[in-house]
Structures are given as C-alpha cells and as structure tokens.
Chains A and B, each alone.
Chain A
Amino acid sequence: MFDTLNSADDRSHNLQSANSGKQQTELPDKLLRKLLLVDDEADGAEFAATLLSAHGLQVIVVHSAREALHALQSDKEIDAVLSDVMMPGMSGLQLAEEIRVRHPTVKIVLMSGHMLPDLLKDHEQPYLFATKPYRIETILNLLHS
C-alpha cells in the first residue's frame, strides 16, 4: 500500500509512493535533515518540497531571501539552504553571501533557470549550483556532497 504526504499547504500536491516508507530510511543520521527551500515561485517550490520530503528531509519553504534569513535566525536546526538565484529584492546570490557570514555551517545550493554556473565561479568560494529544471537526485547529491 502507498503512503500519502501532504505538501506545505496544498492538498492537490499529495505525494504517493509505494516505497515512501523505505525512502525515509535512505539518509544516514549524520547527513543533513532540515532543508530551507527558498524560491519566489511558490507552486514549483511546493512540488520540490514534497519530493525532497519523500527522501527523509524536513523541508521548510519560504518565498524570499528576507524570509529565509528570518527562518535561519529562528531555527538553528536548518542544515542546508536550497535557493533560487533570480528573486525580487535580495537575490539568491546575495542571500548566499549573507548566510556564509551569519551561518557559516549551513550548506548552500543555488539554482536557476537563467544564470550560468560560470558566474558563480568568480567568488572566492564557489557555490554549489543546479540548473532548473533539475532532477531531484541532482539536488540530493549536491546537498550530500
């Protein structure tokens, strides 16, 4: 029988899997557990959060860099941030730089459908990057790299 998991706030985004119980045990304890997903595109973020949750991650979704910084400040259990680059206001790149200063232990993965990864290499410490649309495995591999 399958399990059903509800995404953040939309029942139509249920996730059903014959093996979701098995998936919950895929991640060893030492790996990250709580992920902050930052994307101003709410629908896509909810789908991504639902699929990533099926791999044992606790996923918190916010829709701006400001919200992300607030979440990181209030929740010290967040291990990693997966953020879109192109967002109104503070960009994902600016957010990543802020996180490196304020929360240096938090892992950062940036994603974009528009930006070339080469642009991220100009930084002293290049950021992990995924091109949208991405495969879920790609994100998991980057998060656990």
Chain B
Amino acid sequence: MKYALVVENSALTCNSTSILLASLGYLVTPTFNLRKALHAVQMIQFDLIVTWTVVNPDDRRALSGEFKRHSPDAILILVMDGESGSVLNGNADGIDAVLQRPLTAQDIKTVLESSDNDIVLPTLASPMQGERRKRA
C-alpha cells in the first residue's frame, strides 16, 4: 500500500486530487492546513505528496524542502493554477515535478514512472515562458 498526502487550498481541488490519487491506488490524507501538513510529515513517511504551495507559513524554509526532509523517498508534486509560475519564487527545494491544473491520471503516472535520474517538470516551461513574454 502506498500513502499520499494532499495539501490543497479548496474543498473542490482537494476532493478531485484525492479521488484521482485514490484511483491510482493510494491511501490519501488530504488537508487544507499547511501546519497540519507539516505535522503529518513529521509523524508519517508518505510515498507521494501533492501540494499547491511551497510557502511555509512558519519560517523561511520552503514547505517543499520540509516535506522532502521528512519523507525523503516521497515524490513531491507541486500543482499550479494557470500561469502562476511565480509561485515557485526561486524556492522550490525538493520538488520532483510541477503539474498544471486540471490534473489528470496520466500526468501523475508520467511523474510516478520517471526514474530518480529523470526528474521531470512537465508543465513548468509553459508558465515560465508566459512570464518572460509578459516582461518583454
């Protein structure tokens, strides 16, 4: 059995992401609360963590880095809305993949099937390019 932690910012996305991961065979524990998510990884090692943010509410260390520190074997996926590439803010320690909404089972599978030496950022290029275009 594999275990997933879903950290989302709304009931709708929380539910849809949880259903998606459950369909892939994960036992899923969702939460909206970032502090609770941190407490969860301090207690339990997860196999997969899906988060909507890398910003830690309590200190300057990236939330993603804390997730990875406590669950080093977990695959860590950052989910972004549209062209929100700036959410990374140059501080995305530990992120294995960045996916855009709406998430699909195939997106998740692609990330899960990638080897450790083949970390993928499937959709990161798109929002970053969008940022560059805006600046130009």
Binding site for B on A (CB under 8 A): 2, 10, 12-20, 23, 39, 41, 43-45, 47-48, 50-51, 54-55, 113, 132-137
B64 within 8 Å of A (CB atoms):
no
B18 within 8 Å of A (CB atoms):
yes
Q: Are B19 and A2 in contact (CB under 8 A)?
A: yes
Q: Are B22 and A48 in contact (CB under 8 A)?
A: no
Q: Are A13 and B29 in contact (CB under 8 A)?
A: yes
Q: Which residues of B contact A54 (CB under 8 A)?
A: 27
* Contact bitstring B8-28, A, C-beta under 8 A = 1, else 0: 000000100011011111111
Query: Whole-angstrom distance from the CB of B97 to the nearest CB of chain A?
Result: 21
Residue of A nearest to B43 (CB): A44
Interface size class of B (residues with CB under 8 A): 20 to 34
Docked complex Cα distance between A55 and B24 (Å): 18
Docked complex Cα distance between A10 and B3 (Å): 19
Q: Which residues of B contact A51 (CB under 8 A)?
A: 3, 27, 29, 44
A17-B26, A47-B40 given. 20 additional CB < 8 A pairs?
Answer: A10-B36, A13-B31, A14-B30, A15-B29, A16-B28, A17-B22, A17-B27, A19-B1, A23-B27, A43-B35, A44-B43, A47-B5, A47-B43, A47-B44, A48-B43, A48-B44, A51-B27, A132-B42, A132-B43, A135-B44
Query: Whole-angstrom distance from the CB of B47 to the nearest CB of chain A?
Result: 9
Docked complex Cα distance between A23 and B30 (Å): 19
Q: Which residues of A contact B21 (CB under 8 A)?
A: 16
Residue of B nearest to A44 (CB): B43
Docked complex Cα distance between A43 and B39 (Å): 6
Helix, strand, loop or mixed for chain A's interface?
Answer: mixed
Q: Which residues of A contact B40 (CB under 8 A)?
A: 43-44, 47
Given the contacts A43-B36, A54-B27, A136-B1, A14 and B43 also touching, CB distance less than 8 Å: no
Docked complex Cα distance between A24 and B23 (Å): 18
Docked complex Cα distance between A2 and B40 (Å): 22
Q: Which residues of B contact A55 (CB under 8 A)?
A: 1
Docked complex Cα distance between A44 and B46 (Å): 13
Task: Give 12 pairs: A residue, B residue, CB < 8 Å, sorted on A.
Answer: A10-B36, A12-B30, A16-B22, A16-B27, A16-B28, A18-B23, A19-B25, A20-B27, A41-B39, A43-B40, A51-B44, A132-B42
